[in-house]
Amino acid sequence: MKNNLEAFKRAQKLFPGGVNSPVRAFGSVGGTPPFIDRGEGGYIYDIEGKRYADFVQSWGPLILGHAYPSVIDAVVKTAKRGLSFGAPSELESDLADLILSIYGFLDKVRFVSTGTEAVMTALRLARGVTGRDDIVKFRGCYHGHSDSLLVEAGSGAATFGAPSSPGVVADLAKHTLLADYNDLASVERLFANHLIACVVIEPIAGNMGLVPASEEFLHGLRALCDRHGALLIYDEVMSGFRASKMGACGLTKTRPDIVTFGKVIGGGLPVAALGGKAKTMDALSPIGKIYQAGTLSGNPVAMAAGIATLTEIVETHDLYDTLSKRAKRLTEGFLSAAKEAGVPLTVDHRGSMFGYFFTPDPVRNFDEALKSDTARFAKFHKAMLANGVYLAPSQFETGFISLATSDEMIETAIEAAHIAMRAAA
């Protein structure tokens, strides 16, 4: 199959929308999604042989770039010893040690296979230890597709206009209380009228576009949770090891009770986790009664990919300074291209994560993100793709810089942006 369109038509007969995750369908930007044949360093190549500078990196995991030699070597070597045992392996302990050596305030982790499972488990843990049903999430934050969290969610749910999904039982959804990002008063009002098990937040939101929480806001959430005996959950599935070595936690003085991880800790293979103090985590089965399980949790081959990735991160001096400088350069380049074309744009970055909104004003919450001109976004995205730059196909996502995203690639992407912004004007 050497043609994206033919491949897409075939896939549409096999999968709903031709994809196995909705945002991949390019629904909000139009056109045929490239079918990817391989990745190498900072680039991906589609089945038609076209090369793209990859700023999606599988939605975050590939911070080292594609097919990074030490990661591939570790995967191949481990796979040759067997793919899965459903039994303890030292590789799990080795990856846990690496995570806990960086997130030093955590005592224990539990591995699962997806970010959805990690956050779903974190909610169950919070509800179990507090004996309370109600949770607080923020409009525009996305925490995977478990029922309690598909309420006013971001990412693909927002992209396709279904932030609150049909099929989520009303009796469950009513326990998901909604607040506004960076608006502490909206959280205080909920605590005043409800017994709350936990507050779950992306401390740097990446699923309404890139929207960081203010330090004052995070500090206020911590104080509210302490005052009312609720747990604070930082969902760092995306920002973990991306915003800094210690993710968003490395950029704030506040500390949550539970952190969820994913993406980077698997280096491209299915690994996610939740971590916390021992007294909280030991409430999970088999020590505690709060049940959670998974056939492929801690899978040795996936562990090996995560170990190789985090080892490289630990050993690469000034990694995040380098990635942050490149993210800054790229977003400044987008901004100058927008100004030249007379297109309103606001940009931001945190570590290796970057975002841009087609709106003139700063974006601090979901309502402000929704003011973005998604039609302009679609024109920009299409023109960038035509110029060999692969960006997330939704205004409500975040872009990523990897170790393999060279300065030259950044400059080429900026040149493409000068063309693409004119198309969006």
List the end-to-end C-alpha distance of the chain, in Å, as a whole number.
Answer: 36
Considering only 25, 119, 153, 196, the residue that binds ligand KE4 (CB under 6 A) is 119
Instruction: Check if 77 is active-site.
Output: no
Q: Tokens 């693409």 — which residue? A: 420
262 near ligand KE4, rule: CB under 6 A: yes
At closest approach, how far in Å is the CB of 2 from ligand KE4? 25
Calpha distance 313→23 (Å, rounded): 28
| Cis peptide bond prior to 286, omega within 30° of 0 | yes
Please report, as a single letter, which amino acid is at residue 100.
Answer: L
The site map against ligand KE4 for 142-171 (x = CB under 6 A) is: xxx----------xx---------------
Identify whether the C-beta of residue 4 lies closer than 8 Å to the C-beta of residue 34: yes
Q: In the chain, what is the greatest distance between 2 CA atoms, to the nearest angstrom?
A: 61
Q: How far is the CB of 272 from ligand KE4 (least distance, A)?
A: 6
Bridge partner list, 48: none
Tokens of 61: 């995991």
Q: Give dist(CA 392, CA 363) in Å, integer.
A: 18
- Catalytic residue (choose from 52, 181, 245, 263): 263
Touching ligand KE4, residues 51-70 (CB under 6 A): 59
- Using CB under 6 A, pick the residue from 202, 257, 312, 348 that binds ligand KE4: 202
As a whole number of angstroms, the distance between CA 259 and CA 202 comes to 10
Part of the chain binding ligand KE4 (CB under 6 A), chosen from 4-12, 139-147, 186-194, 315-323:
139-147
Q: In angstroms, give the least distance from the CB of 415 to ligand KE4.
A: 27
Q: How many CB atoms lie within 10 A of CB 271?
A: 30
For residue 316, what are the CA distances in angstroms to 90, 295, 312, 352, 353?
24, 33, 6, 14, 18
Beta carbon nearer to ligand KE4, 54 or 397: 397
Among 134, 180, 235, 373, binds ligand KE4 (CB under 6 A): 235
Gap between the Cα atoms of 140 and 338, Å rounded: 25
What is the spatial distance between Cα 313 and Cα 175, in angstroms, rounded to a whole number?
39
Q: Which of 46, 54, 180, 235 is catalytic?
A: 235
Q: Is 142 a catalytic residue?
A: yes
Q: Is 245 a catalytic residue?
A: no
28 lies in the site for ligand KE4, by CB under 6 A? no
* Strands (DSSP E) found in 48-124: 51-54, 108-112
One residue of 207, 254, 280, 309 binding ligand KE4 per CB under 6 A: 207
Give the number of residues in contact with ligand KE4, rule: CB under 6 A: 21
Q: Answer yes or no whether residue 390 interacts with ligand KE4 by CB under 6 A.
A: no
Structure tokens that stand for 255 in this block: 């500390």
Report the residue from 23, 120, 135, 363 that binds ligand KE4 according to the rule CB under 6 A.
23
The answer to whether 114 contacts ligand KE4 (rule: CB under 6 A) is yes
Q: Which stretch binds ligand KE4 (CB under 6 A): 68-76, 108-116, 294-302, 365-373?
A: 108-116
Catalytic residue among 43, 103, 142, 320: 142
- CB 114 to ligand KE4: min, Å: 4
Q: In what order do the strands lie in the sheet with 51-54?
A: 36-40, 43-46, 51-54, 389-390
- Rounded to an integer, what is the distance from CA 214 to the centroid of its chain? 19
Kindly tell me which residue out of 3, 5, 12, 21 binds ligand KE4, with binding defined by CB under 6 A.
21
Binding site for ligand KE4 (CB under 6 A): 21, 23, 59, 114-116, 119, 142-144, 155-156, 202, 206-207, 235, 237-238, 262, 272, 397
Query: Annotated active-site positions, please?
Result: 142, 235, 263
